Structure 1
Amino acid sequence: MATVPRRSLVALGAAALLGVSACGGTAAPPSAVPSAAPTAAAQGPWTWTDDRGKSLSLPQRPQRVVAQSAAAAALWDFGVRPVAVFGPHKLKNGGRDPEVGEVDISKVESIGNVWGEFNVEKYASLQPDLLVAGMYQKNTLWYVPPESVAAVDQIAPSAGVQLSGKPLVEIIERYGALAAALGADLKAAPVAGAKSRFDAASAALKTLAAAKPDLKVMIVTGTPESLYVAYLPDHPDIKYWGELGLNIVYPPKPTQSEGGFWEVLSWENADKYQADVILVDARSQSMKIEEMAKKPTWAKLPAVKAGQLYPWHAAERYSYLGYAKVMEELAANLEKSRDDVVK
């Protein structure tokens, strides 16, 4: 099965190739009020200006929120409980897709699990107050099919959160602000604890980077036809790690025809860049390391021969908890890695 990076939606035709099964449900869930949200606070007008510059104004705070899976995961960590999700959330084996984070998929409705699958009729039947989705491309809600946009807009207002071209922490804070506007308590112990954990993980990664300045790290994903090398400036997470001091190997510019984010290499040219450590896209629909091992040029890379291949959680939700876990794992993997693999 051909697989592609999560970003560069139009150019890469990404989600048309996502291969996970659909998840459904029949009974509409009860209104999803955010945890620790006083009922009185829901009274009165509610306003929000999203990252498209779109001003939303509702008679009262939205109670029934439907969100794209990654957005749902971020909101969930801040204390908001959506009534339904769309986008990757259920694996073929019935398990929870990592993209949906801590969301309890047994308690939310599904209106689509793969690219192009957005059940407009079911969405309408849930009587949503608000739809939330991230945006990798300007003004384009992730996983809302272009042909469904008009119908979706007629059912309920939507809030877009820009995910590209912004710093990692700013995106996390933006989701936090939206969660607070939806009634979440950002001072609640779980949220405050996640923020402390994120700060500690950032500090630990910065310390490790200073202790291992020669450790070269490259981030990739692959399809049977091509190897995609991540272009640091276009990925908020990778850019953040670079700011912490991690020595990241990345192309001088992305392949423009692919819409940015990556330099696309043929497998014959997979040795164009070399690193001591390679982080490989860990999403379920992406090419597996075992599959990459069959590519001769890949097998000859120093990091591959040294066995220094670790996961890159490309679809991690933008929350303190999500990225605290990512950086803790990353630091543990880099701590045990040799920095003399590339001669």
Structure 2
Amino acid sequence: MSVSRRGFLAVAGGAGALLALAACGQAAPAPAAPGAGSSAGSSSAAPAGPWTFTDDRGKKIDLPRRPARVVAQVGSAAALWDFGVRPIAIFGPHRLKSGERDPQVGNVDITKVTGLGNVWDEFNVEQYISLQPELLVSSMYVKGTLWYVPEKSKDTIEQVAPTAGIMLTGQSATQVIEKYAELARSLGADLDAPEVSSARTRFEAANGELKKISETGLKVLMMSGGPDTMWVVNPPEYPDIKHLTETGLDVVTPDKVDDGGFFQSLSWENADKYDADVILYDSRTQALKLEEMMKKPTFAKLPAVRAGHVYPWRAEAPFSYQGYADYLEELVANLKKAGEAS
């Protein structure tokens, strides 16, 4: 038996003991997150009636009552939060090294939720069990694989509470937003609340502006940078980029993609492989910063870079009307600047 296999059994065995205690009613009461109050659950108290939801794995979840104690990966938490659902705990990047909020967490108040993990492969299973969750929600890039749920403890985590997966790959942003809206409504959110309705109106208006810009023929390259590599992303694989192309925006599609289909890897010496009027760069914390990319000679000489038409790509905007209204309004403003200068 391999060391990794032995390690997995050790983790699963320890968590299994905790599960047994919880099943016997001997688990410790769920600790409140710093600053958390009685409103830390979903947007309203769970009713006595049954609850059902079918996720993007085709998995139908049937529960005797609507779950109130929801745990979510930060991207899912950010979407649900904007619709009015308040998870009790989150996992995935939510706090920067400086202690400030990670942009990926959206509008979630991280002082009122428990953090179960902040980096890849980090998930505090024992703490998760102690919270007595009723539902775990995460997105999926690969069908059946919940984002940021560690493979080593997946089986144990899925024994604790039902899980719901929302598919990202191959979907447009609108489809993903609608799925999160469906889930939020089932969890008690009011989709006609003023803040949701206002955000939907902004989202639709920004879409209209984007369609007008698309008619000008601007060509856009979307990419992410690493120390030795420039990744040109493949539009059909990303919900936000698929949304942009469906509005008519001309986004570069690489002529060859790496295994997995998400992007094409280029050395920085080949950064000039594709022509573009505008470059949108990955602004996430793990990606190379613009000032570092500017030190790459080939990148710095690109026409779009020399013209100053380089803008952030908010690669993990929350899949809510509010998140995408913010994302598209910023993008429209930047593309208008590029269009006026060309």
**What's the TM-score once normalised by structure 1's chain length?**
0.87
Residues 6-64 of structure 1, C-alpha deviation per residue, up to 9 Å, x if partnerless?
A: xxxxxxxxxxxxxxxxxxx96355463433x3x4x621111111111112111110010
Conserved 8 A contact 2:40-2:112: no
Paired positions, count: 310
**SS of match in other structure, 1:42:** coil
For 1:217, the equivalent position in structure 2 comes to 220
**Equivalent of 2:42 in 27, 34, 37:** 34
Return the letter of the residue paired with 2:42: P
> Distance in 2 between the 1:270 and 1:33 partners?
47
| Cα distance, 1:163 vs structure 2 | 0.8
Conserved 8 A contact 2:40-2:113: no
For 1:167, the equivalent position in structure 2 comes to 172
For 2:136, the equivalent position in structure 1 comes to 131
Is 1:113 matched with 2:118? yes
Conserved 8 A contact 1:216-1:339: no
Residues 149-196 of structure 1, C-alpha deviation per residue, up to 9 Å, x if partnerless?
A: 111011111100011111211110000000001111111111111111
Is 1:72 matched with 2:72? no
* Within-5 A mapping of 1:255-294: 255=258, 257=259, 259-294=260-295
**Equivalent of 1:102 in 107, 123, 127:** 107
- Once structures 1 and 2 are overlaid, which stretch shifts more, 235-244 or 56-65? 235-244
Q: 1:32 to 1:58 in 2, by over 3 A?
A: farther
**SS of match in other structure, 2:40:** coil
Percent identity over the alignment is: 57
Return the letter of the residue paired with 2:302: L
Gaps (5+ residues) in structure 2?
A: 1-29
**Equivalent of 1:176 in 175, 181, 192:** 181
Return the letter of the residue paired with 1:72: A
**Equivalent of 2:213 in 208, 215, 227:** 208
**SS of match in other structure, 1:310:** strand
> Distance in 2 between the 1:261 and 1:340 partners?
31
**Equivalent of 2:98 in 93, 97, 100:** 93
Conserved 8 A contact 2:49-2:65: yes
For 1:197, the equivalent position in structure 2 comes to 202
For 2:243, the equivalent position in structure 1 comes to 240
For 2:162, the equivalent position in structure 1 comes to 157
| Cα distance, 1:200 vs structure 2 | 0.6
For 1:3, the equivalent position in structure 2 comes to none
For 2:54, the equivalent position in structure 1 comes to 49
Return the letter of the residue paired with 1:32: A
Q: Which structure has the larger Rg?
A: 2
Return the letter of the residue paired with 1:94: G
Alpha-carbon RMSD across the aligned residues, in angstroms, is: 1.7
Conserved 8 A contact 1:31-1:63: no
Conserved 8 A contact 1:31-1:64: no
Conserved 8 A contact 1:42-1:183: no
Residues 55-96 of structure 1, C-alpha deviation per residue, up to 9 Å, x if partnerless?
A: 211111001000000000000011100000000111111111
> Distance in 2 between the 1:216 and 1:55 partners?
42
Gaps (5+ residues) in structure 1?
A: 1-24
**SS of match in other structure, 2:325:** helix
